[in-house]
Structure 1
Amino acid sequence: MSIQGIFPIDKWNFKSESILTDLPAADFEQLMVHKSEHVLKKGEILFREGAYPSGIYYIVEGKVKKYKTDKTGREQIIYVANTGELLGYHAILSQYRYPDSAATLEESRIAFIPKEDFLLTLQQSSILNNRLLKTLSHEFSVLANSITLLAQKPVRERLALQLIVLREKYKVNFEEGEAVEINISRDDLASLVGTARENVVRVLTEFKEEGMLKTKGRKIFISDVKKLIVLANAG
């Protein structure tokens, strides 16, 4: 089922896939003129926190996690990026190092766009400029909501909300009445929710018993998103 009208997905989901949608052909061609595409296996690094950027990344197909790592090596996933989204442009716009790291969550096809082409297109395209500004503003709002979520909500509500957001990202060729399949490790899910792996496993078991989802290995099948929405309490 569609969650439009019953869940405010825009409060919790970045929109960088809209940056290149229907961009004028001349602008798009200029941006992509020297791009290179690579197929990356699950877990391969696109960029690391603290490195200097040499370009931006476009997800042609697949999913990528953006995350920060603390001094003990523990990851906190900030966001899961989907097909069509851009990554790495924050560091170029700020003229500084990457503020976070990015790695593939599954085998993905990634296009690398050199920094020079990105900046030249940005300089000449008012449409790209306006879209980036709008996207950055929206991302700030999403991050503010996420900080509040981690600080104030219990694990059950945080997990329910993240499962709803992930459901939208994994909803490919969806047909009404089918359960949406989310393929993510329990470690990555725990990192996204901001809790320990054992807490995620325990709460997923509770959700199964309550009829919200089913699991098979690492795969999670969302069978009753309405119940998750009520539990998430994220209106």
Structure 2
Amino acid sequence: MINTLFPHKRYSFMSSNIFEMIPDNISSLIEENIIPIKLKKGQVLFYEGTIPSGVYVLKKGKIKKYATGLNGKEHIFYLIRENEILGHHNLLCKEVYSHSAACLTDCLLHLIPKEIFLSIIEDNQEILQGLLRSISHEFGVFISNSKIMAQHSVRERTALSILRLDEFFEEKGCFKLSRKDHSNLIGTSIESLIRVLHDFKKEQIIDVEKNTILIKDTKKLITVANFR
């Protein structure tokens, strides 16, 4: 579905698995040095302004990446799902984290210590190229999001977010996300989001039950989203 709607993946949270095709010796090195981490829904993996100690591979669950404004409100700018990597941006540029990451669901992660990760990418061009593709894709999504925030109405942004979240959660037309997280992803208030969702329900575009959204008419959603 997403490939039809977004042929250039400008809006998609989907990113490639950079560890999908690596030599056995590097795979063994990673397995020998990973540190498994289990977190519950709502727990924070790392905070903005802290120092990276390695990179994380998400083995199970969903994670949000967000920045916090002066008023304490979150802006969610990217979502991570199984087999994707996070924490590498600031590690590579030798800076503190520019954002925070927290669990949308219960999560299992593998931490690859900083020294191991840096030695791996130094000796393996395929992984380095995969990292560059991942960073480039995320940057492209960030630019597209900036345009959406500046030029699209809350109604249009909400429609587009539903299409993206449907792809991200892979539940075939149905997904669950808290109103707070959904509004922080769109860049609006919870009250404004609820009003738009109510309108969509009246127009028979979606159905809503608590925090679960069921898509009833994808074509109408595409029309409302008004993306280019």
Category of TM-score, reference length = shorter chain:
over 0.9
CA shift digits 1:191-223 (9 cap, x unpaired): 000001000000001111111211111111122
Higher alpha-carbon deviation: 6-15 or 161-170: 6-15
Q: Does 1:211 align with 2:204?
A: yes
1:16/1:86 contact within 8 Å kept: no
CA shift digits 1:32-84 (9 cap, x unpaired): 32112222111101000000000111111111010001122111111111111
Q: Distance between the aligned counterparts of 1:231 and 1:114, measured in 2?
A: 45
Instruction: Give unmatched runs, 5+ long, in structure 2.
Output: none
Q: Distance between the aligned counterparts of 1:16 and 1:181, measured in 2?
A: 21
Moved over 3 A (4+): 6-9, 14-17
State percent identity of aligned pairs: 37
Q: Distance between the aligned counterparts of 1:6 and 1:15, measured in 2?
A: 14
Alignment correspondent of 1:140? 139
Q: Distance between the aligned counterparts of 2:29 and 2:13, measured in 1?
A: 25
Alignment correspondent of 2:32? 33
Offset at 1:9?
A: 6.5
Offset at 1:14?
A: 4.0
Residues 226 and 30 (structure 1), Cα distance of their counterparts in 2 relative to 1, 3 Å cut: farther
Letter in 2 for 1:201: I
CA shift digits 1:84-125 (9 cap, x unpaired): 111100011110100100000111112211111111111111
Residues 25 and 13 (structure 1), Cα distance of their counterparts in 2 relative to 1, 3 Å cut: farther
Alignment correspondent of 2:109? 110
TM-score normalized with structure 1 length: 0.91
Given the alignment, which residue of 174, 184, 193 partners 1:191? Answer: 184
2:55/2:88 contact within 8 Å kept: yes
Q: Distance between the aligned counterparts of 1:227 and 1:33, measured in 2?
A: 50
Alignment correspondent of 1:82? 81
Alignment correspondent of 1:232? 225
2:6/2:12 contact within 8 Å kept: no
Letter in 2 for 1:185: S
SS at match of 2:48: coil
2:15/2:137 contact within 8 Å kept: no
Letter in 1 for 2:212: K
2:3/2:9 contact within 8 Å kept: no
SS at match of 2:97: coil
CA shift digits 1:130-182 (9 cap, x unpaired): 1111222222211111101101100011111111111011114x4xxxxx221
